[in-house]
Amino acid sequence: MDYAQFQALSREDVAQLVRDAGPVTGVFALNGTRRWFQLEYGHEGQAVGQAYFEAITDRLIELTALLFDYGVHTLLVPLLSPHLFTSRGQEYTSRTIGALTYLTRTPKFLDFYRQYHIAARFYGDYAGYLVDIGQSALLAEINTFNEAHLDEVRHRLYWGVCAHDSVTTTARLAVELYAATGQIPSNEEMIRTYYGADIPPVSFFIGASKPRAFDTPLLLTGREDLYFTVAPSPYLNELQLRDILYDHLFARRKAHSKYHEMTAADWDALRSFYEQNARQTLGVGMRVHEWGLWQPTNQLEFDRR
């Protein structure tokens, strides 16, 4: 299927193509939410408060719903890293705790889980961090949330919290499984124990800004397709997602290169493309000092004649 044909399809038709290729496991790594909020709702220097949580709640629900509407079965959303609990001061730690309770208590999220028949849970090494900051009650609430049972599961949604380094946790789980069974656990058993369900490997990863995949223990195989938006994650839009899905389903799934069918003109064009871009490297950028932000440099020259 070519690009124009794909873009002419309805949302449901594209979703069916995604489901036919699945079950698809996607990662949507949230990044740049404070910049998005300041640009869309705030003013310079405005504190992250109730208005921020309400705005990002609405946008996060919209985007996860969009991904599910396009056929994604399982979605991992890395949200919070340890430094949010430990290195930005008590006020920000309190805001981080508030973010977690939003995911477990807010009617908007609870209604969303019910409407889409979502089995939602947390993953990561958050337990120790919560205990260290005196949030044992919240940890118990999260554990109860993770154990909720649904009669019908159409989608799975995993909120990643402190999932940056899973070595200690996975090692402990492996030892516990070995002690219980007397056998070295398989990768599938490790995934089931860590995530609470059987999850296929990641199909695609959507991040923002600097290209790097993270916070998805045991699920990255090297065969996942990686995508990184230039703008902060909340700016992801439907047309952009359709471009990503076309690339994932078709552009990267072509048959082996047919070198024997290429003409001399084809080889000349390929040589020209490589020569034009001999110094270009995907992922190279520059720091904009006025903003303190990394920006990708312009890359790839391509004569489409």
Residue 218, domain CATH: 3.40.1180.10
pLDDT confidence of residue 77: 97
Residue 275, burial from CB neighbour count under 10 angstroms (0-12, 13-18, 19+): exposed
- The C-alpha R_g of the chain, in whole angstroms, comes to 22
Q: In terms of domains, do 137 and 264 share one?
A: no
pLDDT confidence of residue 115: 97
Interatomic CA distance for residues 14 and 190, integer angstroms: 32
User: Is the C-alpha dihedral spanning 44, 94, 212, 7 positive or negative?
Assistant: negative
Taking only the tens of pLDDT, the chain with its 305 residues reads 999 999 999 999 999 999 999 899 999 999 999 899 999 987 655 556 778 888 999 999 999 999 999 999 999 999 887 766 666 667 767 877 888 888 999 999 999 999 999 999 999 988 888 898 888 999 999 999 999 888 899 999 999 998 877 788 889 999 999 999 999 999 999 999 999 899 999 999 999 988 888 888 899 999 999 999 999 999 999 999 999 999 999 998 866 678 888 999 999 999 999 999 888 888 888 888 778 888 888 766 655 44
30, 160 Cβ separation under 8 angstroms: no
Decide if 302 is inside a domain: no
Interatomic CA distance for residues 211 and 300, integer angstroms: 16
pLDDT confidence of residue 304: 47
Residue 229 parent element (H or E)? strand 225-229
Q: In terms of domains, do 191 and 284 share one?
A: no
Q: Considering the entire predicted model, what is its pTM?
A: 0.89
Please give the residue range of the domain that contains residue 53: 11-251
Residue 271, burial from CB neighbour count under 10 angstroms (0-12, 13-18, 19+): exposed
pLDDT confidence of residue 162: 87
Q: In terms of domains, do 178 and 116 share one?
A: yes
Q: In terms of domains, do 244 and 276 share one?
A: no
* Structural domains of the chain, count: 2
